[in-house]
Amino acid sequence: MSRPSPLSATPLLLLAGCSTDAAPSFSLAGAYFPDWMMCAMFGVASAVGLRVIFVVTKIDSILRFRLFTYSALGVIVALSIWLIWFGP
């Protein structure tokens, strides 16, 4: 059951590239993407990652309203990243 998840590692790799002294706008293939879009991606990825971790560690079985819970966790992660990396 403890299979490695490719999604859980992705946010960490992307976070390593973030720096507080750089512009909150990312260049990708000649286009600029805003910081909040990156944070939203991290949020979605972390929600999926947490779901996988909780299923593996059996925590998932005690949760109720899982859709709302995991969505809220994803939002918390995304907003926290924004506050830490890009916030004032």
Partner 1 sequence: MKRVHLSSGKPVGIGIAVLCIAAATLLGMHVAHEDNAHPSSDSGVIDAEFVHIATTVGGRLVELPVHVNQHVHKGDLLYRLDPEPYELTVRQAEANLALARAEVENQKRLVAVKTANSIVAQDQTTRAQTNRDLAARTVERLSPLANHAYIPWQQYDQARVALHDAEVSLKQANQQSAAAQVAIGDLKSSLAAEAANQAALDHARYELRQTVVVAPTDGYVTSLQVLPGEILAPSQVLFTLIADDAWFAIANIREVNLSVIRPGDCATVYSMIDRNASIRGHVESIGWGVLSADTAGIARALPLVPREMDWVHVAQRFPVRVRLDHADPALLRLGATATVEIRHGAACR
Residues that bind partner 1 (CB under 8 A): 19-27, 32, 34-35, 60-65, 68-69, 71-73, 75-76, 79-80, 82-83, 87-88
Distance CA 36, CA 24 (A): 9
Closest distance of CB 1 from partner 1, Å:
12
Closest distance of CB 76 from partner 1, Å:
5
Q: Closer to partner 1 by CB, 3 or 64: give it.
A: 64
Closest distance of CB 25 from partner 1, Å:
4
Residue 61 DSSP one-character state: G
Q: Are 35 and 26 in contact (CB under 8 A)?
A: yes
The closest alpha carbon to 20, from 30, 33, 35, belongs to: 35
